[in-house]
Amino acid sequence: MVDISGGASIVAAAARMADFGVGSILLRDEDGRVAGIVTDRDFRYKVLARGGDMSRPVREIMSSPVCVVDHKEACFGALTVMMQRRVHHLAVERDGAVIGMVTSHDILALQGRSPFSLFADIEAARDVSTLSGLCERIPRTARALLEDGAGASHVGRMLSMVWDAVLERVLTLIQGELGPPPAPFCWLALGDAGRMEQVPGEAPDGVVVYQDPPPEDAVRCRDYFAGFARMALVHVRAVCRNASPGGGFSGSRSLSFSEWEAFFSGHAADERPESAALAFALCEARPVFGFLDMGKRLCREFRGRAARDAGFLARLSRTLFPEKLPLAVYAGQVVDASGTGAAHFDVKAQALASLAGFAALAGLVHALPGSHTLSRLAALRDSGHLEPEACGRIATAVDFLMHLRLAHRLGQARDGRHPGGMDDLVAASDLDPLAGRMLKDVFAVVAEAGGMHLAAMGLNREGP
């Protein structure tokens, strides 16, 4: 780790970096605490490109605060942080003290392959056709990550960040076509994109919220953002080669802030299961582009209203788990309690969606943090709302199902399946004996989670 006082000159900091052959240097304040970081990029763009004075204090060009990662974090976790923060350097902390630095180059050298190059190419794309070509690399990137030892949940998070970058470019290009938006807005990701659990062959789903306009601008805003949302979905489908959206949202796509509040309240109060599902989809929304603070405020409003509405939670609880759960894989069939067999098993619809919904709804009820399923389960465990042993069983089941789903999608991509034709239907006859035995345990965990949740809510399937 190379550091220097923030009061030292820019030229002194550059010389120290050159002496140690590093691409970044940490800056310390008068008390010896880490105050910021300067990278070789800072020298190029903040000093050399502007003909800056090299005798100035180096603190004037530093970035602060420094992005940090715990020393116990896995390499893929560090890579995820880098992609989220759009940085290439992380300070490594132990017990609150910085003990070293890790760079994207370090991880690339260790892992051999990374989504960073794809990420950079997406950010540089200037049109939809270029983005479409780049997205063909997503399955290869996912396969490389999986082969290099990343867990399926890590791969899902990284793919979601790649899709966030695609979406950002698409929405930026649309603004160039339509002109500046007439009001501040935010794009909210839904479904698997909202949970950051996307897989290849799945388009990101989402909606637009815009600031409530004055009455005289209401029609102009409505028309602009309706066209904006429509173009966004058309372009995203084109980029994804007509892949199906991972949210399945069938409601309005662009509304003002107050209109979304009314939309949510109306659907939460509706007795129909499909209305409860639409309202719940908004509870899992994640702001990804535009005025993020406005998006976060609306998401808090959705979750707060949902948590206070016992009737909505009860209706939703009964829809999370299928009435006929699979029991086991036997003789090349997936069988349920009635003895009915099926040749295929839908990994998401028949198991993973239920466990993801369990974690999301329990997190909602207890106002816990976490956007993806495994982090929500950890939050439930750490807050005492889920026994550690039960958490371990459910997390293991989720991890297995995520891996099975991802591997199935990558197999389809390898076989030349068009993104729009990909699915989550695994043939029971293709499962090896170990996977079959594990699925039996997974089905038991899905049933256990369903019983736990209904009991916690004081419900049964028929009524309170």
At residue 114, the pLDDT reads 60
At residue 357, the pLDDT reads 92
Region of poorest pLDDT, from 152-166, 168-182, 255-269, 319-333? 319-333
Q: Which amino acid is at 222?
A: R
At residue 112, the pLDDT reads 45
Confidence label for 464 from pLDDT (cuts 50, 70 and 90) = very low
Span(s) in the chain for CATH 3.10.580.10: 3-109
Q: How many CB atoms lie within 10 A of CB 106?
A: 15
Q: Where are the alpha helices (DSSP H) in 21-149?
A: 40-42, 75-85, 104-111, 116-124, 128-135, 138-147
Region of poorest pLDDT, from 164-168, 337-341, 446-450? 337-341
Confidence label for 455 from pLDDT (cuts 50, 70 and 90) = confident
Mean per-residue pLDDT over the chain, rounded? 88
In this structure, which topology does domain 3-109 adopt according to CATH? CBS-domain (3.10.580)
At residue 181, the pLDDT reads 95
pLDDT exceeds cutoff 60 at 110? no
At residue 237, the pLDDT reads 83
Per CATH, the number for 326-456 is 1.20.120
Span(s) in the chain for CATH 3.30.460.10: 113-317
At residue 458, the pLDDT reads 62
What 3-state class would DSSP assign to 385?
A: coil
Confidence label for 380 from pLDDT (cuts 50, 70 and 90) = very high
The answer to whether residues 49 and 25 touch, using CB atoms and an 8 Å cutoff, is: no
Span(s) in the chain for CATH 1.20.120: 326-456
Region 393-399: mean pLDDT is 94
For 35, list phi and psi in degrees, rounded to 5. Answer: -105, -25
Among the four given CATH numbers 3.40.640.10, 3.30.70.1560, 2.60.40.10, 3.30.460.10, the one describing domain 113-317: 3.30.460.10
Region 135-141: mean pLDDT is 87
